Amino acid sequence: MMMNRRTLTRIAGAAALAAAVATPSFAADLAPEAMVQKVSGETLAAIKADKALQGGDINKIISLVDSKVMPHVDFARMTASAVGPAWRSATPAQKGQLQQEFKRLLVRTYAGAFNSVGDRQVKVLPMRAGTAGANDVVVRSQLVGSGDPISLDYRLTRTPGKGLGWKAYNLNIGGVWMIDSYKQQFAQEVNTKGIDGLIATLAAKNKSNAAGR
């Protein structure tokens, strides 16, 4: 028996509703390269709009990066990866301290790329083929303008409905992936001084950086 047009319309509408429920879309989610362009571009624009930031006030730049960029970074994952196997045996208090000190270190390193921006602009490079629909991607970008380009690349994981839909779990600043750079250093500290020794070393480094030494 053939279905009439009204019945078919109802079935199609129900199917569309079921598909929407099964695979929700989030208005705030962006494509990964759009997310990087937005976050980096807004950070750069804020620096250009503030004379103290334009003058290279590193403490203000750090504060800006902390508020603009770091909410889009998965610090728990980054810290766990950098610390390695010792992370699993760390206490909750130690994990909290490690994340706090590692965050301070990374924020300063990342902020350094935006120091004295001049006429620089953010340029997001084309995504590599085959990444469409992937849950983990690498987005490559550069700060371009006067002088040599500064590379800023991001390893991102999809976070549907959270933030802009992606969070970074590794950063490449000037050709160096941060997790890879720190992993060996952290392992040596843990092997010789334990988790508390690593925390003390990071705290001392951050204190030295804050003092400008």
Q: What is the mean pLDDT of the chain?
A: 83
Q: Is the pLDDT of residue 212 over 60?
A: yes
Helices 92-113, 75-83: crossing angle, 10 deg rounding = 100
Please report which confidence band the pLDDT of residue 106 belongs to, taking 50, 70 and 90 as the band edges.
confident
Backbone dihedral region of 118: left (phi > 0), alpha (psi from -120 to 50 degrees) or beta? left
Cα angle 187-189-195, degrees, rounded to a multiple of 5 = 90
pTM of the model: 0.78
Mean pLDDT of 111-118: 74
pLDDT for position 213:
53
E-assigned strand segments in the chain: 121-124, 136-144, 150-158, 166-173, 176-177
Is the confidence at residue 171, as pLDDT, over 80? Answer: yes
